[in-house]
Chains A and B, each alone.
Chain A
């Protein structure tokens, strides 16, 4: 089922939570809405679910206008951040609930319950009650309840936020597996960009009620379409410098051929991911200020000239690189990103034609 949102605006009193948002999620696709708190991603999801309505906006499921249809009639499955499973019912009754509402005969309903429970991995917990379950188990019950009626679409509102780190990684893979097996259109809301990149077909970065960037995970990471996306996607965060401000000496040095010496009027904010800064024999001289061990990698904070550069190095290659050590940093031109300071839109950096100075 394809979901189309057009021109959605939602305000709570004077605050505008979502502004003129358009988004289409194709059938069977998993789209992730990411962004910081307050960017409007949960509000958008609640609109799709029918739990709130917008001051303007249309919602289409395939070609059906469901804007004024109540949540009960939209045939959706939703998993909330706090699971919201019914505490006074057993796991089986919880999963069966949507089917009971739809007056499905008990025998048929039970079959669906069992098969969905198997799919999700809670088949042996059917007789338990929520207070006897762990967080991860409760979450799966919520997932089963959402999926049991084979809804047209699945809505996930920060489903992994309350799980431990390991469980989070494990569970998100399972969600993806289920989703692609069932080919169910899914909207995932999360503040964790790595989660979005890991399992989504497309990622929408939201900011202040708008979609700032929309792209597939690989593109979103390798060539962030906007400054917002560049800031938000990728951990550790991309190094960013405003060429007109102090502290951007390293960037100016690296991009001197493109930007020229007339930096005062450059409208650029440029960025380099930590893994693209190279500790090299040539390059700008600097001194390591801080060394963070991240496990597989080591993150070095290097002061060079007036700039502070974060450099990601593989752990094996980090021997001898300690605070106080002098090193040289270089980078490849192709790895730099540039954005317009005012609009935030991406600018493709091209080497200048020989002889022309900017």
Chain B
């Protein structure tokens, strides 16, 4: 486009770039800075650099113990990822064996959780888990079984949270895998059947390799999403009881906004950020290996 000026693309990009630099880049740098200070909610300007003290305090903390925190976060993240990937992929494949009318209708229904706000999903499931008024205990009661406290004991509550989060997140995996299936060349399935391949073989040898890029992407999204869940846990257990269901994000919130320890909250932000970048890097490496295999 010889007659268009060279500046035009940058002018068009300007609003987006300004927005992103000011509201994403700068804050992150700020958080990075604050992670090494002793800032609190009441004292944000007059801060002192304290080196890695915040991080040390984090690792040595008792409420909750750092290993517990990490375990909770990882279990939650991985559990959600496994659940959503399994459910989403299975349902996507099933949907694609149906006619497009059925598929569209069912897809619409299955996507409802995806468009609901995290807090609303949280309350919905609290309503299901509630010891007195909850659906599960009411049904159990009809069979004469006593009620279970789903959200108070640590292991059980993490499980309950994962079930709720899988409910929330399967829709996205469903979408991503469904799109990949739509783009799969149709004839190879037909050819495989003519060759005598049964369902299992078709799935293993043809469908799965074809959707692998999308599957890896969905895995990345599910993992990073799982690590960063906030709204759901906040309203369901608020990290309780006694910080047992706190993930990194929850702890970050509590430290910063309930206890006013801005410096410590910032250090957790940095940690969260590093985890996510690490995952993304693994993904890119895995993706490149996949791409090389298919060349």
Contact = CB atoms under 8 A, between A and B. Distances in A.
Are both chains from one complex?
yes
Task: Summarize A's interface: helix, strand, loop or mixed.
Answer: loop
B4 to A, nearest CB: 9
A71 B3 CA distance: 9
B2 interface: yes
B218 to A, nearest CB: 34
Contacts of A53: 2-3
Q: Which 8 A-B pairs have the closest CB atoms?
A: A53-B2, A70-B3, A52-B2, A50-B3, A71-B3, A53-B3, A51-B2, A51-B1
Nearest to A69: B3
Interface string B1-34: 1110000000000000000000000000000000
A69 B2 CA distance: 11
Contacts of A50: 3
B8 to A, nearest CB: 14
A51 to B, nearest CB: 8
Interface of B: 1-3
Nearest to A54: B2
Contacts of B2: 51-53
8 contacts: A50-B3, A51-B1, A51-B2, A52-B2, A53-B2, A53-B3, A70-B3, A71-B3
Nearest to B2: A53
Interface string A51-65: 111000000000000
Nearest to B1: A51
A70 B3 CA distance: 7
Interface string A35-63: 00000000000000011110000000000
A50 to B, nearest CB: 7
Nearest to A46: B2
Contacts of A52: 2
Contacts of A51: 1-2
A50 B2 CA distance: 8
Contacts of A70: 3
Contacts of A71: 3
A51 B2 CA distance: 7
B2 to A, nearest CB: 4
A51 B3 CA distance: 7
Interface string A273-310: 00000000000000000000000000000000000000
Nearest to B3: A70
A305 to B, nearest CB: 53
Interface in A172-201: none
Contacts of B1: 51
Given A51-B2, A52-B2, A53-B3, 5 more contacts: A50-B3, A51-B1, A53-B2, A70-B3, A71-B3
A10 to B, nearest CB: 10
A53 B3 CA distance: 8
A105 B1 CA distance: 31
B3 to A, nearest CB: 5
Contacts of B3: 50, 53, 70-71
A53 B1 CA distance: 9
A13 to B, nearest CB: 14
A71 B2 CA distance: 11
Nearest to A50: B3
A213 B3 CA distance: 31
Nearest to A47: B2
A46 to B, nearest CB: 10
A13 B242 CA distance: 67
A213 B1 CA distance: 30
A70 B2 CA distance: 9
A52 B2 CA distance: 5
Interface string A149-172: 000000000000000000000000
A311 B78 CA distance: 78
Nearest to A52: B2
A52 B3 CA distance: 7
Nearest to B4: A70
A50 B1 CA distance: 9
A95 B265 CA distance: 63
A322 B148 CA distance: 97
A32 B160 CA distance: 76
Interface in A64-99: 70-71
A187 B2 CA distance: 21
A52 B1 CA distance: 6
A254 to B, nearest CB: 52
A45 to B, nearest CB: 14
A221 B29 CA distance: 74
A175 to B, nearest CB: 28
B102 to A, nearest CB: 28
A56 B3 CA distance: 15
B261 to A, nearest CB: 57
A70 B1 CA distance: 11
A53 B2 CA distance: 6
A308 B32 CA distance: 81
A112 B204 CA distance: 63
A224 B128 CA distance: 89
B128 to A, nearest CB: 48
B6 to A, nearest CB: 13
A352 to B, nearest CB: 56
Nearest to A70: B3
Nearest to A68: B3
A191 B3 CA distance: 28
A276 B284 CA distance: 67
B33 to A, nearest CB: 44
Interface in A185-233: none
